[in-house]
Amino acid sequence: MSGVRVDKWLWAARFFKTRSLASDAVGGGKVRLNGAPTKPARDVKAGDRLEIHNGETRWEVVVRALSEKRGPAPEARLLYEETAASIAAREAEQQRRKIEHEPAADIHGRPTKRDRRQMDRLR
């Protein structure tokens, strides 16, 4: 196998739950192949470097193996190797989220009448 579509490989490596989500992410510029934006049909080969942005999580991985089929998670982890800088950045982001409280995390939907009155008092 000389190459696999980027979207198919991302789905097989379990970065995205469905292939259409992977294709949308690649088309939306959330995935970079060897530092350049790419298209979903572009082939990825062993040794290529991918930068993947999935929501708040960012990975920088080197492709080690190719697969067109989605398998179990332990097998999917063998398809890539995450760089040391990427691991350190993800762990630092996790620590930051544990320490800092997101102000909007407590807000769920529209404010109630009581919430609105409290906001008016603060103004």
> 14-32, pLDDT tens digit by residue?
999 999 999 999 999 999 9
Q: pLDDT exceeding 70 applies to what percent of the chain?
A: 99
Q: How far apart are CA 98 and CA 46, in angstroms?
A: 36
**pLDDT reading at 103 higher than 80:** no
Amino acid letter, residue 57: T
pLDDT, tens digit, for every residue of 30-46? 999 999 999 999 999 99
Element (H, E) at 47: none
Mean pLDDT across 50-65: 92
How many other β-carbons are positioned within 10 Å of the β-carbon of residue 52? 21
Question: What domains can you pick out in the chain, each with its CATH number?
Answer: 4-102 (3.10.290.10)
Average pLDDT of the residues of the chain: 91
pTM, full prediction = 0.78
pLDDT at residue 107 in the model: 73
How many other β-carbons are positioned within 10 Å of the β-carbon of residue 114? 8
Contacts (Cβ under 8 Å, ≥6 apart) of 1: 66, 68
Q: Are strands 57-63 and 49-54 parallel, antiparallel or unpaired?
A: antiparallel
pLDDT at residue 65 in the model: 94
Instruction: Work out the burial of residue 16: count CB atoms within 10 Å of its CB; fewer than 13 is exposed, 13-18 middle, 19 or more buried.
Output: buried
Confirm if 69 and 63 have CB atoms less than 8 A apart.
no
Q: How far apart are CA 72 and CA 112, in angstroms?
A: 45
Confirm if 18 and 7 have CB atoms less than 8 A apart.
no
